[in-house]
Structure 1
């Protein structure tokens, strides 16, 4: 049976008259001997109908009739407090709908002001939920319990008043209610105000003495929740009234409100928190830079703001706390995992690279696995430093920086570990000016795909390879795992040896990545030949 729907054929004539406010008909029915205690399919009696409808005149008639037929005061009181199938008393129904006079009449008839429903609500909680200030004032004055838990989340009436942002009711309740009452997550009403941006209620609570630095069971603070949800006015108010922006808000790692603002892209809040957050979170050991959360939350604007405010692009090593080496490594890994969100991660990576983020093996691993990531790196970094007095330096300006010795070493080490991706990373690196001889390694010739071996050999003088290299190639040729180009069986021609020499003298980065060769007074086809474009373009 559905206890929320009234079946008309189950409603008594007395209850129907009470619901409609027909006092004359109600009197006549009672005089005719009709009972006021007949319940319908929902368990509703005439007293419930009159209370819910707020028909006070009918309610008086019903209570008078009930008193005469009850036989005793206890029987009358049992009728006044009788509950529907959902546990709702007449007082509850009147309070829920804001019928002040009906509530007053029922209380005079000794209705239980604290009677609970099946779902743990009560007249006061119902009046609070629906914003009936006058009813709340009456119930409080009659001693209604304020600090009892209601609902499965253990909210008090004050929690609910704040959630609904009934500030006038909050003002009534804070006079006697427990400001630090906690729900099942140990959150006080102040948390509710901060989380849902209930500014007026927040101010009332703080003015009444609520603690601004109280913490929930997971150590979250009201300031953290306001920062996370983007309520700038609440953040400003809390900070102006003593909220601590440097109080750790997580049991797992030292999370601060600035992390929440960065993760969710609340830039105005982030700017405010930057000024009050200790900078030890930037690179301090055992801390976490907010850049990590800005990347994780796909918020390139947060990344840009933090970098502009002086937060270091490398941050600290957070492998123990978050399992991540650096913000850039995180951006690269996320870009690999979520192709539909790659744009925001790519933008964050671009900003970190432009700010000088260091490239170590954790950054090179994903970069060498995907062409777009490697292209992004090469758009911001020279492989080798350009001489200050070179003509190329004047051409390209200083918008890019060169890889450091350790970065180049890490790249080569990682490349040798990722030979299965060599077809993706070798042509772009060579096109960017990497010296192919730096990859002339036994493992490359032994394990790399045959096409990769052929590509690499075209940038070398294959006739002068050291004996160990030639032995490996001979073995692979015999095993049919490598098919060499025909020219590898003869000595390189003079033109190839000349361009190898030019590349060595000028530097591969200058030859490939600048227009210096294009200035030479020779035919374009020769310029292209000197830049190895015949090899590179055929392989890309």
Structure 2
């Protein structure tokens, strides 16, 4: 009979059982041996118990229908006390029972006795024709249709019998309905049609039947999705060919701007993409987000599709979108796609548009930034070797690499010309931000200094030997750093203030020691002196800072200054004697000229 009922409404359930199963639901079904059963379930779907359906609650006519006893049914329907319109709790009358169980002879007897009930519906608005379709009983369908059943009455879910036959993938039932005048373009749930449903199941035979019967090939649902879109989305190439043969618009766009080509790219259907492009599908139609098919293919990592899209995609339209497919490939770590795009000549320095950059808190712009923040060494290497500029972002990638402690990426960036003296625009300091970020990583700090980072500015304290203002300390490293950053928005933060942060001050001596190797005669401010005095082992560092510095050291500092920061980063390629290069690079600190 009907599927789900509250247990309190199931006829024949005893009072004790009702109390035990209060609030549960039941489903009724027939076993393979024809035995009717009841399954009791909790509201969460878990099974409580099963038992045979009580015979006592079944009306004689209904039982005769279940048993397929057409002779008894013919006898019963003639009795004056038998009401053929009497419905059960779900609005089912004997006609519905006969259609649901495929008892065509019983159905004929019932309809012969009272034909006017032909289109009567259950509480779920199911006609007998709909029930016969759902169960796949074509003879019952024919019986009902011959007597004038309306083939277009929708159920509670707005589905027609034709829609349900397409869902069941039953060509015979579809043919019966079409031959009896079923409307082929009836809009069902969410504007879905029988053709949409058939295409989603990739049933070529039924699709041909619908199209011959007048199905509109470019009909859209409430999201402006056509059957062609459905075929491309699902990867059904044969049915896609059929739709195009019947005039489907290959470039129609859904409500979100997506085309069939876009959906095929999104779902990785290479054969669909190849076919659509061969049929002149437009690869330059953007969705509402402004992304093209090549963007979504890059994001998903479909390198085969990327290779097909490259010649069909306008570079101007890519620039107009405000984002390069390289950005998306790098963001999702699609290294194979990145390699293909670079070889195809896509600009590795293409910036994000202002609108897209604002979507990120750090206001990133370059593809290189995405690679660095993902700690993707391979992508970083490919971009740098292809000519990526490491100095295009508001927050320099080199700062990101230092903060992450990624030494390999950091050295690659510096070796490819990253500015070792970058500052953070919103947080002014009187020394490079690279020094601030590298304080905890002395090898990185030394590498920066070797390549021309400004160490002199770290000793240019505005307070000098005078008393310094007190530093607010909360005991929380992040809060302390945040506080100093907030303060820096109004005043320029000093190096000695930053190094006094509790989490950093324990390394104050070694940090100052490294910096002193890259400056001439300097005078330590009161706070730096205080740090060095706080630990007896740092006494020699304080002595190192006292003038005069050695002549050899001063000469090295002077020569490095004359060479300049940019050329220091390429010092190995300069026309300088190898021994001098080693000396300038601090590779042998004791060796003379």
- TM-score interval (norm. to shorter): 0.7 to 0.9
The answer to whether the aligner puts 1:486 opposite 2:489 as a matched pair is: no
- Are 2:521 and 2:549, in contact at CA under 8 Å, matched by a contact in 1? no
Greater RCO (Cα-Cα under 8 Å, separation 6 or more):
1
1:120 Cα deviation (Å)?
0.8
The answer to whether the aligner puts 1:271 opposite 2:307 as a matched pair is: yes
Determine the structure 1 residue equivalent to 2:155. 117
- Are 1:437 and 1:460, in contact at CA under 8 Å, matched by a contact in 2? no
Determine the structure 2 residue equivalent to 1:354. 385
Unaligned runs of 5+ in 2: 7-25, 29-37, 39-52, 359-363, 461-492, 500-504
Determine the structure 1 residue equivalent to 2:516. 460
What secondary structure sits across from 2:5 in the alignment? coil
Q: Name which of 409, 413, 418 aligns with 1:376.
A: 409
Q: Name which of 312, 330, 342 aligns with 2:370.
A: 330
Q: Distance in 1 between matches of 2:518 and 2:325?
A: 51
Q: How do 1:293-372 residues align onto structure 2 when only pairs under 5 Å count?
A: 293-323=328-358, 324-333=364-373, 335=374, 345-360=376-391, 361=393, 362=395, 363-372=397-406
Is the alpha carbon distance of 1:352 and 1:425 closer, same or farther for their aligned partners in structure 2, counting shifts above 3 Å? Answer: farther
Segment drifting more, 118-127 vs 135-144? 135-144
Q: How do 1:27-106 residues align onto structure 2 when only pairs under 5 Å count?
A: 27-30=74-77, 34-65=82-113, 67=114, 76-77=115-116, 79-106=117-144
Q: Distance in 2 between matches of 1:217 and 1:403?
A: 46
* TM-score of the two chains, using structure 1 as the length reference: 0.77
- Are 1:436 and 1:460, in contact at CA under 8 Å, matched by a contact in 2? no
1:101 Cα deviation (Å)?
2.2
Is the alpha carbon distance of 1:138 and 1:420 closer, same or farther for their aligned partners in structure 2, counting shifts above 3 Å? Answer: same
- Are 1:433 and 1:510, in contact at CA under 8 Å, matched by a contact in 2? no
Is the alpha carbon distance of 1:416 and 1:183 closer, same or farther for their aligned partners in structure 2, counting shifts above 3 Å? Answer: same
- Are 1:12 and 1:39, in contact at CA under 8 Å, matched by a contact in 2? no
1:170 Cα deviation (Å)?
1.2
Q: How do 1:388-467 residues align onto structure 2 when only pairs under 5 Å count?
A: 402-403=416-417, 407-410=419-422, 416-417=432-433, 420-424=436-440, 427-431=443-447, 434-435=450-451, 438-441=454-457, 442=460, 445-449=495-499, 450=505, 451-452=507-508, 454-460=510-516, 464-466=520-522
1:500 Cα deviation (Å)?
7.3
Q: Distance in 1 between matches of 2:382 and 2:540?
A: 45
1:371 Cα deviation (Å)?
0.9
* TM-score of the two chains, using structure 2 as the length reference: 0.70
Greater fraction helix = 1
Is the alpha carbon distance of 1:422 and 1:195 closer, same or farther for their aligned partners in structure 2, counting shifts above 3 Å? Answer: same
Q: Distance in 1 between matches of 2:252 and 2:94?
A: 48
Determine the structure 1 residue equivalent to 2:31. none
1:488 Cα deviation (Å)?
4.0
1:52 Cα deviation (Å)?
2.2
User: 1:30-78: CA deviations, max 9, x gaps?
Assistant: 456644434334332222222223232222122122x2xxxxxxxx33x
Q: Name which of 48, 59, 81 aligns with 1:12.
A: 59
Segment drifting more, 47-56 vs 204-213? 47-56
Q: Distance in 1 between matches of 2:280 and 2:257?
A: 17
1:462 Cα deviation (Å)?
8.8
Q: Distance in 1 between matches of 2:570 and 2:309?
A: 45
- Are 2:297 and 2:305, in contact at CA under 8 Å, matched by a contact in 1? yes
User: 1:411-434: CA deviations, max 9, x gaps?
Assistant: 798982466533245531423663
Determine the structure 2 residue equivalent to 1:391. none
Aligned length: 474
Determine the structure 2 residue equivalent to 1:174. 211
Q: Distance in 1 between matches of 2:174 and 2:324?
A: 47
What secondary structure sits across from 1:180 in the alignment? coil
What secondary structure sits across from 2:439 in the alignment? helix
Determine the structure 2 residue equivalent to 1:474. 526
The answer to whether the aligner puts 1:203 opposite 2:250 as a matched pair is: no
Determine the structure 1 residue equivalent to 2:480. none
Unaligned runs of 5+ in 1: 68-75, 336-341, 383-401, 521-525, 532-540
What secondary structure sits across from 1:128 in the alignment? helix
What secondary structure sits across from 1:320 in the alignment? helix
What secondary structure sits across from 2:229 in the alignment? helix
Q: Distance in 1 between matches of 2:224 and 2:195?
A: 14
Q: Distance in 2 between matches of 1:54 and 1:286?
A: 58
Q: Distance in 2 between matches of 1:437 and 1:327?
A: 25
Determine the structure 1 residue equivalent to 2:193. 156
